[in-house]
Amino acid sequence: MPRETGVRALSERWSRDQLAARVARDIPEGAYVNLGIGLPTLVASHLPREREIFLHSENGLLCMGPPPAPGAADPDLVNAGKQPVTLLTGGAFFDHAESFAMVRGGHLDICVLGAFQVSVHGDLANWHSGEQDAIPAVGGAMDLALGAARVFVMMEHCTRDGQSKLVRECTAPLTASRCVHRIYTDLAVIDVTPTGLCVVELADGVKPDELIALSGVPLEMRHG
């Protein structure tokens, strides 16, 4: 049975792979991109093969490819989330210091991060402390959120108990303030603008009034 969250069933929303494919559509040719741990790693499998995109991992990789075929994983070739990856022709390995120099030096065009909360101002909270199943520390997300030219957030619209992850003010520990440019959820694509959150696309089957009811924050509608 599909899990109900607020107004509509999950079956009428973007699946995780559909969401990853939607994010991949917005990554342009020639971009240097970091994919955060968790949900954002799915984006690598949906990038068009004909589009040259340079995937960076903060543990010291550049030019990562899609996940390896079953049985073909190299245990020494992993991303920052310790998932097996492939390396494209021309790929490079380097140490943590060089990797974070790339991040902090403004050499990444886009980072895609997961989130627990995003505020109407673009504040990002994507780590917790003191919870058993939570990410135990901020890790490299703080550097990525401030170092990348554009920050995309990829997340489910609501928590398991139906609470919106879009909030007026973050209550979880902040990763960085006013850093998020675009939010991708299983319900919509939403831009963070100087005047607030602006919906630019809705998932199939989701109506504007339903999205507003689920979100609990002001939303401007510019989709379609």
Task: Answer whether 184's CB lies under 8 Å from 19's CB.
Answer: yes
Q: Residue 119 and residue 115: Cα distance in Å, rounded?
A: 11
Beta 196-202 vs 219-221: how paired, if at all? parallel
Q: What contacts 113, CB < 8 A, 6 or more positions away? A: 36, 40, 124, 126, 141, 144, 145, 151, 152, 153, 154, 175
Q: How many CB atoms lie within 10 A of CB 98?
A: 12
Beta-strand (E) ranges in 99-171?
110-113, 117-119, 124-125, 150-154, 166-167
Give me the active site residues, please.
Answer: 58
